[in-house]
Structure formats: structure tokens, C-alpha cells
A and B are shown apart, each in its own frame.
Chain A
Amino acid sequence: MPGPRYISHEEAVLESSKDPEYRRVYRLLKPRYDVVKELITLRRRQGISQEEFARRAHTHQSRISKIESADQDVTLSTLTKLADALDADVDIRLIPRQEEGFFAEVLSLCGESTGRTWSIEEEPVVFRAVEELVR
């Protein structure tokens, strides 16, 4: 009898991304989790605890814990204050959605480097891969 096999997260998300509603919600929620990733990464890189981070940002550790848990949306002014506590600046960009132009080009580049065709449904996977490359 065949044993278990393992599916990668990339494959799994690819499957889910075929649903337009999944892609719509993904776009809405991703920035919130991106903020969380940025804050945790920078805090840890500086080797400081949530308590120390809270002290520097003049807030409570429980608030930092909530923010790092993506429990609540962070306002721009709070984000600026948190960034300042980490001696960092906030960089905001609004990227026009150009699925037929820019994104098609990205997918085409992915196709060239991987030797297979990428579809629009694969956007979250491609975005994640690009993010990882530039990190």
C-alpha cells in the first residue's frame, strides 16, 4: 500500500488561487500580514523583545503582541510610530494592477526561467517567490 506523500504549500496555494474569491480576499488581507512580517523580522534582527519594542514605542507589550498576531489592522500613524521605535522608515507604494501588462510580463519571465507556462491564477505564488528573491 502506498505511503503518505507531501504537498508543498506552493502547490496548495496554486490550487486555491484558481478561485477568484480567494484571490480577492488574498489581496485584501496580504498587506496586514506583510506589516506583521516586517515588524517581527526587523524586531528580531535587532534582537529586542516585544517588551523592549513596546517600551521604545511608548505602548504596552500586549499591544505589540496583538499587532504581531495580526489581530488588528494597524493605522498609518501607529505603523509610523512602530517603525520609528525600530529606527526605520515606512515606505508606502500603491502598485497599479496591470494584470494584462506588467503581471503578464512577470509571468512570462517566470516561464522563461522555469520552462513552463504560468497563469494569472498563480499570482500569489509568483508574488511570494519574487518577495523571497528580493528579501
Chain B
Amino acid sequence: MLWDLIYHSEPGRSSPREYINGLTPSEQVHIDLKLDVLRSTERQDWPKWVSPLEDKILELRQGDHRILFFTHKRTMVVVHALRKKERRIRERDKDLAKRRRDDFLARS
């Protein structure tokens, strides 16, 4: 059964989906189809292009781009998208993802 997949969006700030929409069609489609694979297959083992980041935030990789998401019940929530210039994802990007995750959980 397909999981719900939603993107965080807040007024005045660029949303992860806007970031994805700004990529080339090929990158967009790869990301969309990868997200589709994740939401349609009951997984315990993540594919090679997904890694746990920390605090149950997961990272999907597509070239230089990173999509940060978490799962809650049968919903995947994309909370951040960024271009990773350094080897590690910056703390402030992780913090932003966690803050948005906590906000979602507080409201649900």
C-alpha cells in the first residue's frame, strides 16, 4: 500500500519542493521516482541512495542534491532539500530538518 508523501512548506521560505522544481527535469524525475520507490515498498533496509542522518532524519541522495525526510506512521514527510557542497551536511541544515520534523509531530 502506498504511503502518503508530503512536502513541508511555510510562508516566506523556500520549500523543499520549490528546490526540487528548480533542478533539471532529469534530476527532478530521479528524485520523484526514488521517493516513489520508497513510498511503495515496505522497507526495513534502505536502498544505497538513502542513509540515516541522525534523530531518525533520513537523507536521499541524487547527485549533489540531498532530500531530508522522516517517516511517521504511513507518511513520509520531506522537510528540507539542499545542495551538499561539503563532505558532511551542515549542522544548521540538520537542525532545520529536525525543527520542522518536531513541528509536524507536535501538530499531528
Hey, which bits of chain A sit against chain B, CB under 8 A? 1-9, 12-13, 15-16, 19, 21-22, 24-26, 29-30, 32-33, 36-37, 40-41, 44, 50, 65-66, 68-71, 128, 132
Looking at A1, A12, A15, the one whose CB has the most chain B CB atoms below 10 A away is A12
Smallest CB-CB separation from A12: which chain B residue? B17
> Are B7's CB and A6's CB within 8 A?
yes
Q: B82 within 8 Å of A by Cβ?
A: no
The B35-64 residues at the A interface (CB cut-off 8 A) are 35-37, 39-43, 45, 47-49
Contacting residues, chain A, for B43 (C-beta < 8 A): 40, 44
Smallest CB-CB separation from B76: which chain A residue? A9
Smallest CB-CB separation from A40: which chain B residue? B41
Give, as a whole number of angstroms, the nearest-CB distance from B76 to chain A. 8
Looking at B15, B29, B39, the one whose CB has the most chain A CB atoms below 10 A away is B29
Contacting residues, chain B, for A15 (C-beta < 8 A): 21
Q: B103 within 8 Å of A by Cβ?
A: yes
